[in-house]
Amino acid sequence: MRLPQSLFLLAVAGSTARASSDKISRPRGVAPEYAKFYQDQETFTCISNPSVKIPFSAVNDDFCDCPDGSDEPGTSACSHLSRNSPLTVAERPGYSDVDLAVALPGFYCKNKGHKPSFVPFQRVNDGICDYELCCDGSDEWARPGGTKCEDRCKEIGKKWRKEEEQRQKSRTAALKKKKDLLVDAGRQVKEIEDHVIRLEAEIKGSEVKVEGLEAELKKVEDEERKVVRSSGKGKGKVNALAGVAKGRVEELRDALSVVRGQRDEARSRLKELEDILSKFKVEYNPNFNDEGVKRAVRGWEDYAARELGNDEDTAEERDLDEIAKADDENSGIDWAHWENTEDGCNESDILYKLAAWLPPTLVKFLEDQFFSLKAFLESSGVVSKTEEGSTSESKALTEARNALKSEEDTLKDLKNKLRDQHADLEKDYGTAGIFRALKGQCIKLDAGEYTYEHCFLEDTKQLQRKGGSSMSMGKFVRIGYTSVEELNEAGDVISIEKISLEYENGQHCWNGPNRSTKVVLECGEQNEILKTAEDEKCVYSMLVTTPAVCPGGDEGDSAPRSKDEL
Amino acid sequence: MARSRPTSRWTLFLSFVVLIACFVVPGVTVKHENFKTCQQSGFCKRNRALADNASAQGASWSSPYELDPATIHFKDGQLNGILIKTTSTHEKIRMPLTVSFLESGAARIIVDEEKRLKGDIEVRHDSRANKKRYDETEKWVLVGGLEVSKSATLNAQTETGFTNVLYGPEGNFQAIIRHAPFEVEFQRDGETHVQINHQGLLNMEHWRPKVEHQEGEAPEEESTWWEESFGGNTDSKPRGPESVGLDVTFPGYNHVFGIPEHADSLSLRETRGGPGNHEQPYRLYNSDVFEYELNSPMTLYGAIPFMQAHRKDSTVGVFWLNAAETWIDIVKEAANSNPLSMSAHSKSNTKTHWFSEAGRIDLFVFLGPTPQDISKTYGELTGYTQLPQHFAIAYHQCRWNYVTDEDVKEVDAKFDKYQIPYDVIWLDLEYTDDRKYFTWDPLTFPNPKGMQEKLDESERKLVVLIDPHIKNKDDYFVSQELKSKNLAVLNKDGEIYDGWCWPGSSNWVDCFNPAALPWWNSLHKFDKFKGSLSNLFIWNDMNEPSVFNGPETTMPKDNLHFGDWEHRDVHNVNGITLVNATYQAMLERKKGEVRRPFILTRSYYAGAQRMSAMWTGDNQATWEHLGASLPMVLTNGIAGFPFAGADVGGFFHNPEKDLLTRWYQAGIWYPFFRAHAHIDTRRREPYLISEPHRTIISQAIRLRYQLLPAWYTAFHEASVNGTPIVRPQYYVFPDNEAGFAIDDQLYLGDTGLLAKPVVTQDTFTTTIYIADDEKYYDYFDFTVYQGAGKRHTVPAPEDKIPLLIQGGHIVPRRDRPRRSSALMRWDPYTLILTLNKNGEAEGSLYVDDGETFDYERGAYIHRQFQYRDSVLSSENLGTKGAKTAEYLKTMAGVTVERVIIIDPPKEWKDKSTVVIVEDGAKTGSTAVLEYYEQESGKAPYAVVKSPNVGIGKTWRIEF
């Protein structure tokens, strides 16, 4: 590395601007923690590149000498040393290959009467008083273009302290609220646990009952079987059934073919309509932005995007064709076989046997609909028509079976409840389960055309203010963490992790995904939506304050985790 | 028959399909059926038929126009006479001709129709339409340069049948006017450069009464004479056929440029078919073309009928001053009939054919000989680029739409958070209350003043959209006033025209009406446009005008404007009449506070440069559109309207990160640098893009800001000389033939900066064409490129903009990044110096307050920097005015903080100081000089530290 020797030989002409009030003078813009680098009054050693030494007179001479910018703590001369700048080799002569490591966080404003802070170098002497960061106005010390920034630290500091006091109060209040939330959450957990104990007891009782009823049913069944056996022939039952079923099937077949005809007609009309709409979609001019047209296209696209089942299912068509054919030995049900058969089985067996002869699609349908079909058969008298003689025995059996069924249902129900309660206990409600206490609480914010609503752990919504519809922006799915980019004290962008509530699968978006919302939480005394944004099409974010995420309190450390600098 | 195996024919077919697919942007194409082809435009078809007929007849074709020698009268640089047109029925039509020879060296030919001048015609359908041919285009377009030449004289040595006029700045131009058939040849130094009616296509469809013929007995094909229908709209054509046409030949010229706006190459293509050529003529009929296609002669939003022909060492041009729908055919033919010599360097004649639907023939002819001469002379006529407010040349952030005033403030804060500079944030139409201009949506923009005040804290600006369509609603004060004051455009029956645009049913302000100006002016006052502050500026969109339910998305041609001119007469200047009204309104919104207006317009005509900036309209987020933006911007530059740009990122659709990044790297070279996006796209403000692209984009934007002193200087030059701000290869090297068609690299003003934006995906090296044998240095690492007439390979990784600087220049920069360009006002300068072959360099700098007109009274700094014989000096180029001293005083503290010399003389290795002599200083002083070697292939450099010479002072630095 070649060092500019001339620097050692020459005292550079130019003013070294130093804050004059300090006795042990610290150069302008240097924070106390960096003062140690500026002690030597003869030679200055660049902080991050100590191999570069320059005469001390070159510090704050408004020319950038150090490859890390450390020689200009009080000017903007090194403000271009940044990753964001289009640097050429000549901006850091001899050091352009060395990684840029800017040494100072910014221009240090003492802000007497308030708290000190750093102003980014790019704001030093730019003609704007940056009171927000530099209440003493020292960032414009050179008065470029006559800019005068009077010291406003007294009033700003006072105001800040007042606000800080308020914030402190608010923080205390928030922590108290948080405590209440934790207590509430704890109480809810306790209630659930108590409920679990109760349920477990009830389940035990129920299980005993079920055992008893099973035994009872078995007994009744045994008796019943004797009765059935003694009731003689069952031959005529199947024949009768076959006869009725045959008529019914014919009837259904006729109805089917009528309905199919109607369906085909409706289908072709739909096709025609869809063709009109797809043509419409291609040919309209979206740039004209006619809301009515746009809405129609949007609606059509949503419609077209939905899977509308396979209406051209040829297998199904074939099956239907098959069904529509008249029955004979080769196709459909061979009624003759059934009409001349003896049956040695009960009603449901018949149904299953029947099923073996039916086309697979219909079987599937039958399986799905078994109970309703059974009910239909029963109600139409097909199944129980010849059972007149055994009514009393059947009643006992039915009662026993029903009693058992009902108790089994109770047990199942109890078990489900228990499972739900266990699941709820295991579910993530945040640290110490604090969000349990907020679940279902709703907050709203009017912003622009809309009112936004957030119901904790349930959903987010958008409501049109000019009167109109409400739109789901997502249903709760999980508690997570989100990286938020914030500025650190030095004005660098850093990434901070914040707790977020995530909501997905809201209303579908035209030309986009289902709406979703990420609710990023910040510590605050109130549950409040601070702002909402549509980060990209139909992907929303909300910034919400709640005491639940305030650091401190009983649940342990929930302070935001800070990631490395970008 | 058995299925045949794929044969070579199939392969051929498939490759053809693949090839076609490569050219077609997937999914989106322009709706051709909405716009006319030449075949669907009656007068285009008729004039093309005339050309076809002439060409079929060959040598036997003779133009039916003769100049009656008895009528010729030459006085004070102007020749008058009567052209006689003999019709097929041997009727003689009289057409007054004026040829003016202007002091500037331009010549102007006007042909009108006597009967119509006298009002001696009948207009059908009881129409109110004006009987004259429209002769007021110049009222909107020309601002000077019309002084006739006192030295122009008739050439005594002229053959019979000819009238020759000698003229031109040095008397070296001659117009040779042949009487029969009428033809004009323009010569420079005895050589013919421009021929008028050489092909005999001069055509002025004279007025005639409509005669009802028996079927099949019409002597001529009249189907397009009396009525034309297109897209469900019928044009009543009350004056019948009335088009004008003329051919212009450029003998020996192979390239023609100009006639924006088209999404096409810089060097215009032939339009009569053939491989690589267009089938349709270039069309100029300002239109809102949705999802426009590339490589097309189709019309777009603006029209400048100004064409330049260029060959080695000579540039000439013509300007067709006509506001009606215009088409231009271009055909090139070999000048020598030897077909074997058809190489790139072969000479050819470029034959052009211009025709407009109505109006007069009004043609300017420029004889150059340099591109700069053409820019200058054309600019004298139509005006130079307005020196813009300084913010206007910085970075603009736009989106349809920033949805609330809070949203705007947040975007503003985010730019600061990420330390990315920007100057202007824009509001598209959604800020309005129900699409009523001059109002704010009370729900989304409840506090517009607070928003503008916030922006003003870092001296940033707001631009809002104001369009010419006024919502037709009784309770809207603008609509009420428009109607009560009778300032709206009328339909053919003389009733207020009602059409459909953003607000639904709308009426259009007629800015042709002088009474519309004071009214439009009043609407922009702070007390009328409530909520507007002085840092609010205007965007005039949809001023073609765009009418959603009109023919070709615009107004019916038989609509009536002020003076009973038909819309057909004035269509192409309609856009700038609105811009003109807005310009007048924005000059002085508050009494005593005169500011340079900033207006962005979509529609334009020649002259728009005096009042506005333009952008290329609704482009798309594709690599092809990125590529097309460069020739479009370059074309606008040479056509006198250089304040041009394209939407960075592409308006429609979502750009991938690499495309967006490359677009920023290209966009910083647009004179008008604005990012914009459609309402249905994802947010894409630069800070939202993930790393590393965010940093790369920030660097690009900061590079633009760093070079703003050079940009502003280039704008100043454009404002006094008409030179383009970014220049194509031929303009900078007019003698280097191999570079004439290059339109993918550009030069920034006179700086010697040569940029070659990457416009294709996954491209990490590129080539830059270098015309001369000077050394060129990579802007960032000083790598040396040398070799004339060659393409040099230059690395172009994603984080690098291929950018060279030619030897021999001094470029002013400001290196300190600020929040906005206004805040750089007090910052010191850095000078970059490269030496040419002779060891010399020069450059210039123009500075002023960037917002007022005080520069007209001397409040500016204009310096000439020169390096010669080891001395770098700064000399004054300005002239003193009433405000000079005051301005210099405010700038007294602004200095040069650094001089970087790339590739300095080797002897400097041992130098450690330089001597500085500033005017007025009693003694000289010294500054440190440091010399740095670099690895081979990269030039060494030297840095002068803190010379601290005043930017407004005269000084020398002796090395």
Selected residues 169-188 of chain B with any CB under 8 Å from a CB in chain A: none
Contacts of B913 (CB under 8 A, 6+ apart): A6, A10, B926, B927, B928, B929
DSSP string, B564-633: GEEHHHHHHHHHHHHHHHHHHHHHTSBTTB-----EEESSEETTGGGT-EEE--S-BSSHHHHHHHHHHH
Within B736-775, strands assigned E span 746-748, 753-755, 765-770
- The answer to whether the peptide bond before residue B261 is cis (omega within 30 degrees of 0) is yes
B700/chain A closest Cα distance in angstroms: 7
Contact B581, B521 (CB under 8 A): yes
| Both structure tokens of A495 | 């990434």
A523: β partners: A546
Neighbours of B535 (CB within 10 A): 17
B16/chain A closest Cα distance in angstroms: 26
CB distance from B53 to chain A under 8 Å? no
Dist CA A429 CA B109 (whole Å): 85
| Both structure tokens of B279 | 């089938």
Average pLDDT over residues B199-221: 89
DSSP string, A84-116: TS---TTTSTTTTTSPP-----SEEE--BTB--
Give phi and psi for A345, each to the nearest 5.
-145, 170
Dist CA B403 CA A449 (whole Å): 9
Average pLDDT over residues B116-137: 96
**Per-residue model confidence (pLDDT) at position B596:** 98
| Both structure tokens of B803 | 């950018």
- The pLDDT tens digits for A295-305 are 788 788 878 77
Mutate to test the interface with B, among A60, A122, A132, A488 (most CBs of B within 10 A): A122
Q: Are strands A539-546 and B784-785 parallel, antiparallel or unpaired?
A: unpaired
Cross-sheet strand order for the sheet of B395-397: B644-645, B613-615, B599-601, B536-540, B461-465, B424-427, B395-397, B673-675
**Contact flag B946-A12 (C-beta cutoff 8 Å):** yes
- For residues A537 and B821, which has the higher predicted lDDT (pLDDT)? B821
Query: Could you tell me the residue ranges of all domains in chain A?
Result: 1-151, 241-325, 432-565
**Contact flag A84-B443 (C-beta cutoff 8 Å):** no
Contact A84, B419 (CB under 8 A): yes
B932/chain A closest Cα distance in angstroms: 7
Q: Identify all chain B residues contacting A531, using CB atoms and an 8 Å cutoff.
A: 406, 410
B653 → chain A, closest CA residue: A511
Coil/strand/helix, residue B228: strand
A117: β partners: A109
CB distance from B86 to chain A under 8 Å? no
Locus of tokens 């030093």? A124
**Per-residue model confidence (pLDDT) at position A560:** 39
A83 → chain B, closest CA residue: B695
**Per-residue model confidence (pLDDT) at position A341:** 57
Dist CA B923 CA B919 (whole Å): 10
What one-character DSSP code corresponds to residue B258?
E
Q: What angle do CA A287, A289, A294 make, to 5 degrees?
A: 115
**Per-residue model confidence (pLDDT) at position B158:** 87
CB distance from B681 to chain A under 8 Å? yes
CB distance from B700 to chain A under 8 Å? yes
Q: List, by residue number, the catalytic residues of B.
A: 541, 544, 618
**Contact flag A2-B932 (C-beta cutoff 8 Å):** yes
**Contact flag B682-A536 (C-beta cutoff 8 Å):** yes
Dist CA B461 CA B917 (whole Å): 40
Q: Which domains, from first to last, does chain B contain?
A: 42-209+225-336+344-382 (2.60.40.1760), 390-727 (3.20.20.80), 746-958 (2.60.40.1180)
Residue B584, pLDDT above cutoff 70: yes
Locus of tokens 């053809």? B16
Mutate to test the interface with B, among A83, A280, A291, A534 (most CBs of B within 10 A): A83
Nearest to B780 by CA among B756, B807, B804: B804
- For residues A275 and B671, which has the higher predicted lDDT (pLDDT)? B671
Neighbours of B768 (CB within 10 A): 22
Dist CA A343 CA A357 (whole Å): 16
**Contact flag A122-B404 (C-beta cutoff 8 Å):** no
Neighbours of B754 (CB within 10 A): 24
B138: β partners: none
Dist CA A517 CA A500 (whole Å): 10
Dist CA A62 CA A78 (whole Å): 8
Dist CA A47 CA A31 (whole Å): 14
CB distance from B418 to chain A under 8 Å? yes
Contact B92, B102 (CB under 8 A): no
- The pLDDT tens digits for B755-772 are 999 999 999 999 999 999
Selected residues 467-486 of chain A with any CB under 8 Å from a CB in chain B: 485
Contact B864, B875 (CB under 8 A): yes
Residue type, B18: V
Measured CA distances, B225 to A484, A560, B85, B612 (Å):
68, 78, 19, 38
Residue type, B722: G
Q: Each residue of B39-70: b (16+ CB within 10 Å) or e?
A: ebbbbbbbbbebbeebeeeeeeeebbbbbbee
Measured over the CA atoms of residue B71, residue B74, residue B79 and residue B80, the dihedral's sign is negative
Within B423-563, strands assigned E span 424-427, 461-465, 469-471, 499-501, 504-508, 536-540, 560-561
| Both structure tokens of B347 | 């000479």
Q: Which of B459, B900, B929 sits opposite A90 (nearest CB)?
A: B900
A461: β partners: A453, A472
Residue type, A124: V
Selected residues 97-116 of chain A with any CB under 8 Å from a CB in chain B: none
CB distance from B594 to chain A under 8 Å? no
- The pLDDT tens digits for B438-485 are 999 999 999 999 999 999 999 999 999 999 999 999 999 999 999 999
Radius of gyration, CA atoms only, chain B:
29
Dist CA B862 CA B845 (whole Å): 6
Give phi and psi for B561, each to the nearest 5.
-110, 175
Helices (H) and strands (E) in chain B, counts: 16, 54
Q: For the range B83-92, what are the long-range contacts, defined as Cβ-Cβ under 8 Å and sequence gap of 24 or more?
A: B83/B111, B83/B182, B85/B204, B85/B206, B87/B206, B88/B219, B88/B220, B89/B219
**Per-residue model confidence (pLDDT) at position B893:** 94
Coil/strand/helix, residue B865: strand
Contacts of A395 (CB under 8 A, 6+ apart): none
A9 → chain B, closest CA residue: B912
Q: Are strands B65-67 and B78-86 parallel, antiparallel or unpaired?
A: antiparallel
Q: Identify all chain A residues contacting B933, using CB atoms and an 8 Å cutoff.
A: 2
CB distance from A79 to chain B under 8 Å? yes
Average pLDDT over residues B332-341: 64
Nearest to B831 by CA among B730, B911, B945: B945
Give, for B696, the enclosing helix (H) or strand (E). helix B693-706
**Per-residue model confidence (pLDDT) at position A393:** 54
| Residues lower than pLDDT 70 in chain A | 1-24, 226-238, 240, 286-291, 307-313, 328-393, 489-491, 511, 553-566
- For residues A332 and B53, which has the higher predicted lDDT (pLDDT)? B53
Q: What angle do CA A260, A266, A267 make, to 5 degrees?
A: 85
Nearest to B141 by CA among B257, B285, B304: B304
Write down the architecture of domain A432-565 according to CATH: Distorted Sandwich (2.70)
CB distance from B892 to chain A under 8 Å? no
**Per-residue model confidence (pLDDT) at position A10:** 35
Q: Which of A14, A125, A287 sits opposite B290 (nearest CB)?
A: A287
Dist CA B319 CA B364 (whole Å): 5
Residue B186, pLDDT above cutoff 60: yes
B718 pLDDT band, cuts 50/70/90, is: very high
B10/chain A closest Cα distance in angstroms: 31
DSSP string, B905-928: -GGGGG--EEEEEETT-SS-EEEE
Q: Identify all chain B residues contacting A126, using CB atoms and an 8 Å cutoff.
A: 818-819, 823-824, 826-827
Dist CA B628 CA B617 (whole Å): 12
- Confidence (pTM): 0.85
Mean per-residue pLDDT over chain B, rounded: 94
